Structure 1
């Protein structure tokens, strides 16, 4: 398929519909963007060559027109000198150049019309390219968002967190029991407790508090990672 046929196909295509119906929309958007970028380069390269050809044709037309004027002057000169035969031959040569010039002008007109259409199509292709890029960006954002939701659900259903929270609750219950035991023990028995026993109880409470603090840090880190 020629590049201008591809250009027309792309300009007339419903990009959103093509992308949404694809099995892998993000891949389809990426391929379409690559196709459009390649087509843009090819069309612009072809347009540069066409413009160069047009300039050559313009110069040829100028030479044909100048040649026609020259043969016209020669015909007048020959007729003034009584050489009607030469004047007629000069007019025939002038007519040939005029016909060639007319063909060149028609070709120039066709080239100009083609360039004008290509310019419009290039503008539409550029707009389609921007549309495809915006669609691809939207798809990427949606995919990242969906992946984050999946990761979050996996984290929330991780049994390790449930286990850690259970241990946290157990420690809190142990602390409450120790505190209650200490309070009940202190009711009338504080005076009878030895110094060593008081230090032992203090160390036990400190150990539980330390373990609780470490567990809180673990739960906090996992929660932040989610």
Structure 2
């Protein structure tokens, strides 16, 4: 994937307004689940791209260090060959001196080539370093956004569960109001009291009937006493 493409996607996803997306969604939870899957996939894809870009940058940096080290080593070899040529020339060994001067020139040529390669790589390394920094920053923002999405989804699920529990509780309370056990108990108590009153009435009725019988018995007793006394008077 081209770097500009992944950079653009990273920037676009990092700037996404979660609340605005939720406001437009018919089912916020499904929208969040979709966004989390999309972010997770894009983060994994971006991580692979960033890893490859970082790997290429490290290779270029390593090549650059090798070119710099190589330029330094060839410079040291050129200096050593030049000094040896001067030493031989001072001792009268001209042909040997010329050979070491030739070696010094070869070493200097290699030094120039290594320095040129190092200089050529430096702008590319600098630009790639900027790209890598931007990709890493974008990835960090995407990870933060993913964390926000996950927290938002978990909060929404918890709130939905709480709302459902409250609705079930309110339905139960409403059903209790329709079939109030207290009202049933009150009606049963009224029925018991009516039965108790009926028993009391029967008892009073029975008591009054018994009193009447005793009064009748007493009346009969008084009449017999009168008849007995009348008979005694006549006999006397």
TM bucket normalised to smaller: 0.5 to 0.7
Question: Is structure 2 residue 40 aligned with structure 1 residue 37?
Answer: yes
Kindly tell me: are residues 34 and 3 of structure 1, through their superposed partners in 2, closer, same or farther at Cα, counting changes over 3 Å?
farther
Cα offsets for 1:166-222 (capped at 9, x unmatched): 655543332221122233334464799xxxxxxxxxxxxxxxxxxxxxxxxxxxxxx
Kindly tell me: are residues 183 and 109 of structure 1, through their superposed partners in 2, closer, same or farther at Cα, counting changes over 3 Å?
farther
Alpha-carbon RMSD: 3.4
- The residue aligned with 2:121 is 104
Cα offsets for 1:12-60 (capped at 9, x unmatched): 1111111122111111111112222223333333333333333322332
Unpaired runs of 5+ residues, structure 1, are 193-226
Contact 1:16-1:135 at 8 Å conserved across structures? no
Kindly tell me: are residues 99 and 182 of structure 1, through their superposed partners in 2, closer, same or farther at Cα, counting changes over 3 Å?
farther
The structure that has the greater radius of gyration is 2
- The residue aligned with 1:19 is 22
Unpaired runs of 5+ residues, structure 2, are 86-96, 210-236
**Superposed, which structure 2 residues align to 1:1-226 within 5 Å?**
2-76=5-79, 77=81, 80=85, 81-82=97-98, 87-88=104-105, 90-156=107-173, 158=175, 161-162=178-179, 168-187=185-204, 189=206
Q: Given the two structures, how large is their TM-score scaled by the length of structure 2?
A: 0.64
Q: Given the two structures, how large is their TM-score scaled by the length of structure 1?
A: 0.66
Cα offsets for 1:37-86 (capped at 9, x unmatched): 22333333333333333332233222212322343345442584346666
Q: More deviation in 77-86 or 178-187?
A: 77-86
